[in-house]
């Protein structure tokens, strides 16, 4: 399937849709998931028009991994959670719903269940506050 330039993350990258930004550099962007599965659920995307891992140029894969490491550490500190899950879904059969490659950064703690994937829109003020808190730990 060809990359669809109208997917929501492509629009965010072009500044045509808003996001609660956490971090940005030349090759990547990190922002809050608007339908989070837990508090501080953060996404990292490369600035390359790729659907999944298999069509992402290796230099962007490297940049993405570097940003995931940096932002995941900040999320860990900001959330105070002992565990951080990093997930990246390739293809609808794997559960992917937005077809611009992204990594999920999801704080975890024993006994706290994840909410449903991509279902309930979070309060925007709360997302803004969480993004600010994560930025303080970058």
Residues annotated as catalytic (active site), given as ranges? 102
Q: Please compute Rg for the chain using Cα positions.
A: 14
8 vs 53 by CB, closer to ligand 5GP: 8
Q: Which residues from 58-117 bind ligand 5GP, rule CB under 6 A?
A: 89, 95-98, 117
Residues 2-31 that bind ligand 5GP (CB under 6 A): 8, 19, 31
CB of 102 closer than 8 Å to CB of 110: no
Contacts of 34 (CB under 8 A, 6+ apart): 20, 121, 122, 127
Q: Is 53 in the site for ligand 5GP (CB under 6 A)?
A: no
- C-alpha to C-alpha distance for 109 and 120, rounded to whole angstroms: 21
Nearer to ligand 5GP, 86 or 138 (CB): 86
- Residues in contact with ligand 5GP by CB under 6 A are 8, 19, 31-35, 89, 95-98, 117-118
């Amino acid at each position: 399937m060809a990359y669809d330039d109208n997917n929501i993350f492509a629009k965010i990258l072009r500044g045509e849709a808003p996001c609660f930004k956490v971090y940005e550099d030349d090759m990547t962007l990190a922002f809050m998931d608007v339908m989070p599965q837990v508090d501080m659920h953060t996404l990292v995307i490369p600035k390359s028009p790729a659907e999944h891992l298999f069509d992402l140029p290796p230099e962007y894969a490297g940049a993405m991994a570097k940003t995931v490491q940096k932002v995941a550490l900040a999320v860990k500190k900001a959330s105070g959670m002992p565990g951080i899950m990093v997930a990246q879904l390739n293809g609808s059969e794997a559960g992917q719903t937005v077809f611009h490659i992204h990594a999920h950064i999801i704080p975890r703690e024993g006994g706290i269940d994840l909410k449903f994937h991509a279902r309930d829109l979070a309060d925007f003020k709360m997302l803004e506050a969480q993004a600010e808190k994560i930025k303080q730990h970058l």
